[in-house]
Every structure is written in structure tokens, then in C-alpha cells.
Amino acid sequence: MRLLERMRKEWFMIGIVLAIAGAKLKPSVGVNGGPLKPEITVSYIAVATIFFNSGLSLKTEPLAY
């Protein structure tokens, strides 16, 4: 049970380690022209998603004044 609690607490770091391990094991997924299409995904979709999530975190009350 303590391991599960620790994993829930450290979920972000575990995710980063898994992403790095996946990239090391299968680098062909992220190359230009690969299945993830990083030339499109990183340029447009990732930036738009970051700005969208950032906008969702804004408090709406100060924006009304």
C-alpha cells in the first residue's frame, strides 16, 4: 500500500522517467515524419494546448472588471 501511495505522490516524475525510457527504446516514434508528426505537433498543437490550459487556469472574476 505504501508503494501505491508513493506512486500517486510522485506521478509526474514517474511519467517523465517512462517517457524518457520510451524514447530511448523506440526513438523512431518521435522523428520527423514519424507517427507523432513532431513537425506539426510541437509547432502548433503543443503550443495551442499550453496556451489553452493556461487560459483555463485564469480566474474569471478579475477579468470581468
- Domain map (residue ranges) of the chain: 1-27, 31-65
User: Which pLDDT value is given to residue 63?
Assistant: 72
Residues 41 and 35 sit within 8 Å (Cβ to Cβ): no
pLDDT tens for 18-41 read: 999 999 999 999 898 888 888 888
Angle between helices 2-9 and 11-25 in degrees, nearest 10: 80
Taking 90 as the threshold, does the pLDDT of residue 65 lie above it? no
Listed in sequence order, the DSSP H helices in 11-59 are 11-25, 38-40, 47-56
Q: What is the pLDDT of residue 48?
A: 94
All 3 cell numbers of residue 10? Answer: 510522485
Mean pLDDT of the chain: 90
Q: Is the separation of the CB atoms in 16 and 24 below 8 Å?
A: no
Q: What's the rounded Cα separation, in Å, for the pair 45 and 59?
A: 24
Place of cell 507517427: 35
